[in-house]
Amino acid sequence: MFSSLSDRLTATFKGLRGKGRLTEADVDTTVREIRRALLEADVALPVVRAFTGSIRERALSAEVSQALNPAQQIVKIVNEELIGVLGGQTRRLRFAKNPPTVIMLAGLQGAGKTTLAGKLGKHLKDTGHTPLLVACDLQRPNAVTQLQVVGQRAGVEVFAPEPGNGVGNPVEVARRGVEHARDKQYDVVVVDTAGRLGVDAEMMQQASDIREATQPDEVLFVVDAMIGQDALAVAQAFQEGVDLTGVVLTKLDGDARGGAALSVATTTGRPVLFASTGEGLADFEVFHPDRMASRILDMGDVLTLIEQAERAFDAKESAALASRFEAGEDFTLEDFLTQMQALKKMGPLNKVLGMLPGMGAMKDQLDELASDGAMKRIEAIVRSMTPLERHNSKVLNGSRRARIARGSGVEVSEVNQLIDRFTEAQKVMRAMRAKGGGGLAGALGG
Ligand code: GDP
């Protein structure tokens, strides 16, 4: 996501590097390039104008001319302005004083509302809530079933229309859904609503009626980051039609140029709360404007990386490994496999590496390394070893390696490569013990 915008901006800043002073012409060139980069990323023109206008003003002010390193100062300004446009501080969900909290989802058909309802349900459940999903999209065939499927996958209850539950009338379903939540002590209700392929008056009226009937604490505008220039008009229509409280960006995993994010946030004046980055339930992030800005500027997003590592690496398992390790036991192939599996849980390696400063450029080459196939082969190899071999790889001589290769259906060279990689990892772990660290999670967190 944002990769071409990111490439363009970093190239622009590279051109400034090493300049001791910036002339007005330098600033103009830079602003022009930023403007071009934003337009190419599909940011709407009025938004680009406002953005570059304030950058130019600040770049010509004393804040830059008197800075020790004017080029860096400009990166800092662009970073701050980006954070501002994306909503400033991280905006958390607002919960009602008297539950249930009602969260209404609105947006065009195909924006990803139903998928998001499942993700949001899981996120709420994971954070100690008892959510209920309410199926009010009665326009799109299968939308109700789809919500029931994602609800089941997320382990979250779904309230769906049936005789007595306002069949055929979305406003009635929404109202009864909230009532049901109140009766049955669900503390958050997520209302999935219908969308159309384009903005139309009837849909907007329905959304507005559902808003009126359920009095939501949050009205989240769900928008597909790939819709590009159209985002501006759609966001405006929803802001006027239903009065939004926040934005959720979806499909940030695609080759979206990402401009919609900047346009929508600026146009609605509403903060982005969440980002959806894939079709799976886990492809969901709390949106942090500052972290997103550093990702766009390829300054890395180490904080999100650490959080994902914490989620992927079982704390108990890691602690057990660390204490065994401190007690003098060696790092074994079993441990290696566990760590590799945890690493894989963090998602495609290219996504993970894209969050590291400066790694944006090479992330595409790394996907294969952690592909499903490669991971399955590693697992098969380790599983073909005897317990003794897993604990002491030194006993793996040539003939054993050949047998293991046969047993796991791979070439001997692949077994050798795995053992080499493991030996390297073991060395790192031993060195870490000498320094008192604790595994990859420890290395990232500490
Ligand atoms: P709705 O009409 O707004 O309810 O949209 P859906 O939730 O049915 O989503 C439309 C399509 O987009 C489905 O095929 C989803 O699997 C897909 N989708 C939703 N969110 C994402 C996302 O973040 N990334 C990708 N790649 N696909 C998504």
Residue 319 belongs to domain with CATH number:
1.10.260.30
Has 304 been labeled as part of a binding site? Answer: no
Pairing assessment for the beta strands 218-224 and 246-250 based on DSSP bridges: parallel
Mutate to test the pocket of ligand 1, among 114, 115, 122, 247 (most ligand atoms within 8 A of CB): 115
Residues 182 and 293 in one domain: yes
Q: What does DSSP assign to residue 93?
A: P
**Is 91 a domain residue?**
no
Ligand 1 pocket residue status of 279, Cβ below 6 Å: yes
Give ∠ CA 375-358-414 in degrees, rounded to 5.
25
Phi and psi for 182 in degrees, rounded to 5? -65, -45
Has 146 been labeled as part of a binding site? Answer: no
Polymer length of the chain: 446
Has 192 been labeled as part of a binding site? Answer: yes
Give ∠ CA 432-436-438 in degrees, rounded to 5.
65
Contacts of 152 (CB under 8 A, 6+ apart): 158
Q: In which domain, by residue range, is 260 found? A: 101-298
* Domain stop point among 55, 85, 115: 85
Ligand 1 pocket residue status of 193, Cβ below 6 Å: no
Q: What is the pLDDT of residue 372?
A: 67
Residues 327 and 410 in one domain: yes
Has 275 been labeled as part of a binding site? Answer: no
Residues 294 and 326 in one domain: no
**Is 195 a domain residue?**
yes
**Nearest residue to 296 (alpha-carbon basis) of 53, 17, 75, 48:** 75
Rg (C-alpha) for the chain, rounded Å, is 26
CA-to-CA distance for 138 and 291, rounded, in angstroms? 37
Mutate to test the pocket of ligand 1, among 116, 120, 149, 279 (most ligand atoms within 8 A of CB): 279
CA-to-CA distance for 256 and 42, rounded, in angstroms? 9
Residues 287 and 414 in one domain: no
* Domain stop point among 85, 112, 131: 85
Give ∠ CA 335-339-342 in degrees, rounded to 5.
140
- Joined tokens for residue 24: 């007005």
Residues 156 and 265 in one domain: yes
User: How many domains, the chain?
Assistant: 3
Ligand 1 pocket residue status of 245, Cβ below 6 Å: no
- Joined tokens for residue 305: 């990386």
Has 252 been labeled as part of a binding site? Answer: yes
Ligand 1 pocket residue status of 113, Cβ below 6 Å: yes
Per-residue tens of pLDDT for the chain, all 446 residues: 677 788 888 888 888 777 777 888 989 999 999 999 888 888 888 889 999 999 999 988 877 777 767 777 888 888 888 888 888 889 999 999 999 999 999 999 999 999 999 999 999 999 999 999 999 999 888 999 999 999 999 999 999 988 878 788 999 999 999 999 999 999 999 999 998 888 889 989 999 999 999 999 999 999 998 887 888 899 999 999 999 999 999 998 876 567 777 888 888 889 999 999 999 998 999 999 988 888 777 666 655 666 666 677 676 777 777 777 777 788 888 888 887 777 777 766 666 666 665 555 555 555 555 566 777 888 899 999 998 999 888 899 999 999 999 999 999 999 998 898 888 878 877 776 665 544 444 444 33
Ligand 1 pocket residue status of 256, Cβ below 6 Å: no
Residues 283 and 315 in one domain: no
CA-to-CA distance for 423 and 443, rounded, in angstroms? 18
Residues 418 and 323 in one domain: yes
Q: Sign (positive/negative) of CA torsion 411, 417, 420, 422? A: negative
- Joined tokens for residue 402: 């050949």
Pairing assessment for the beta strands 101-106 and 218-224 based on DSSP bridges: parallel
Q: What is the pLDDT of residue 331?
A: 82
Indicate the SS3 state at residue 355: coil
> Is residue 53 within 8 Å of 28, Cβ to Cβ?
no
Indicate the SS3 state at residue 103: strand
Q: What is the pLDDT of residue 440?
A: 43
Separation of 223 CA from ligand 1 center, angstroms? 10
Separation of 194 CA from ligand 1 center, angstroms? 14
CA-to-CA distance for 43 and 169, rounded, in angstroms? 37
Which atom of ligand 1 is closest in space to residue 222's alpha carbon? 3
Q: What is the pLDDT of residue 299?
A: 65
* Domain stop point among 18, 50, 85: 85
Strand partners, 132: 157, 189
- Joined tokens for residue 404: 């293991």
Residues 342 and 366 in one domain: yes
Q: What is the pLDDT of residue 364?
A: 55
Residues 359 and 416 in one domain: yes
Q: What is the pLDDT of residue 1?
A: 60
**Is 90 a domain residue?**
no
Q: Is ipTM beyond 0.95?
A: yes
Separation of 279 CA from ligand 1 center, angstroms? 6
Ligand 1 pocket residue status of 229, Cβ below 6 Å: no
Q: What is the pLDDT of residue 442?
A: 44
